C-alpha cells in the first residue's frame, strides 16, 4: 500500500525481539521503545524541507542545510505514546510537543478522546503522531481526524507494532497520511490484541500490569 512504510532493518528487528520478550522489565522496555522511535523519526523526516544557514567551522564559513525545529511537532497519543517522545525529541530537542489522550472502551474497543493540547501554530507544522501499537486502528484514526479537524495538513503516523487489520483500516481512511511501522505482525486475536505482539504497551511501559 502506498504511504505504508515497514522499516525492515536488522537493528530494528534486534530491538523488537527484546520488546516482545515477556522478561523485559519496564525500564529497559521504555529505553528500547525510545531507541526504535528515534530510528523511525529518522525515516519519517527524510523529506522534511530544510533551509540554508552559514556555519563557521575552525577553518572557514560554509553553507549548511538545517531543519526548522519550530515547524515540526511531536504528538504522542497518551499514555503509551509518551514512551516514544524521548526518542524523537533527542533528535530535535527544540521541536514542540503536543498531546492527545485516547482510551479504548471495554467491550466495544471504541476509542474516545479525553484530552488534547497542541501548539498554537500546529496547523502550520509537520506533525509526527506517535503510538507504539496500531491494533484496530481506532485510536490512530480518531487522533488523525482530531488533527485534521483543527486544520493540520501534514501528518505522519509512527508506530512500533501494527496488525494488518489496523493498517488496512487506517490506510483506507487516510491514504494520504504516511504510516511508519517497525514491525507488521500477523493478526488480531478475539480481544483485538496484536499477535504475536508484545502485550499491552502502556502497561509494560509504566509497570501497571495486573
Q: How far apart are the first and last CA of the chain?
A: 37
pTM of the complete model: 0.91
Q: Is the pLDDT of residue 83 over 90?
A: yes
Average of per-residue pLDDT across 176-194: 95
Q: Would you say residue 157 has pLDDT above 90?
A: yes
* In the chain, where the domains are located: 4-50+60-206
pLDDT attached to residue 207: 87
Q: Which pLDDT does position 209 carry in this prediction?
A: 75
pLDDT score of 210 more than 60: no
pLDDT in tens, 39-71: 999 999 999 999 999 999 999 999 999 999 999
Half-sphere exposure of 76 (CA within 13 A, CB side): 20
Torsion of CA 45, 47, 49, 51, to 10 degrees: 90
Mean pLDDT, all residues of the chain: 93
Q: What is the pLDDT of residue 105?
A: 72
DSSP bridge pairs for 56: 61
The model's confidence at residue 79, banded by pLDDT at 50, 70 and 90, is: confident
CA 177 distance to own-chain centroid: 12
At 2, is the pLDDT very low, low, confident or very high (cuts 50, 70, 90)?
Answer: confident
For 124-135, the pLDDT digits (tens) are: 999 999 999 999
CATH architecture of structural domain 4-50+60-206 = 3-Layer(aba) Sandwich (3.40)
Q: Which residues contact 78 (CB under 8 A, 6 or more apart)?
A: 99, 100, 101, 102, 115
Catalytically active residues are 104, 108, 200, 203
Partners of 5 in beta bridges: 180
pLDDT, residue 208, reads 87
The whole-number pLDDT of residue 1 equals 78
Task: Quote the percentage of the chain above a pLDDT of 90.
Answer: 84
Amino acid at each position: 500500500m502506498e504511504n505504508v512504510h515497514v522499516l525492515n532493518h536488522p537493528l530494528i528487528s534486534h530491538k523488537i525481539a527484546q520488546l516482545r520478550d515477556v522478561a523485559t522489565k519496564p525500564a529497559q522496555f521504555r529505553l528500547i521503545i525510545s531507541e526504535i522511535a528515534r530510528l523511525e523519526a529518522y525515516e519519517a523526516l527524510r523529506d522534511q524541507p530544510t533551509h540554508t544557514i552559514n556555519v563557521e567551522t575552525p577553518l572557514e564559513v560554509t553553507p549548511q542545510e538545517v531543519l526548522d525545529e519550530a515547524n515540526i511537532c511531536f504528538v504522542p497519543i497518551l499514555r503509551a505514546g509518551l514512551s516514544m517522545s524521548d526518542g524523537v525529541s533527542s533528535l530535535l530537542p527544540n521541536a514542540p510537543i503536543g498531546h492527545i489522550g485516547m482510551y479504548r472502551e471495554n467491550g466495544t474497543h471504541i476509542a474516545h478522546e479525553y484530552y488534547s493540547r497542541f501548539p498554537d501554530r500546529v496547523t502550520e507544522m509537520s506533525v509526527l503522531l506517535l503510538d507504539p501499537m496500531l491494533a484496530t486502528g481506532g485510536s490512530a484514526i480518531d487522533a488523525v481526524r482530531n488533527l485534521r479537524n483543527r486544520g493540520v495538513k501534514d501528518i505522519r503516523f509512527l508506530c512500533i507494532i501494527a496488525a494488518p487489520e489496523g493498517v488496512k483500516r487506517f490506510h483506507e481512511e487516510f491514504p494520504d497520511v504516511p504510516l511508519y511501522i517497525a514491525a507488521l505482525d500477523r493478526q488480531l486475536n478475539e480481544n483485538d490484541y496484536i499477535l504475536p505482539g508484545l502485550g499491552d504497551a502502556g502497561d509494560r511501559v509504566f509497570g501497571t500490569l495486573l
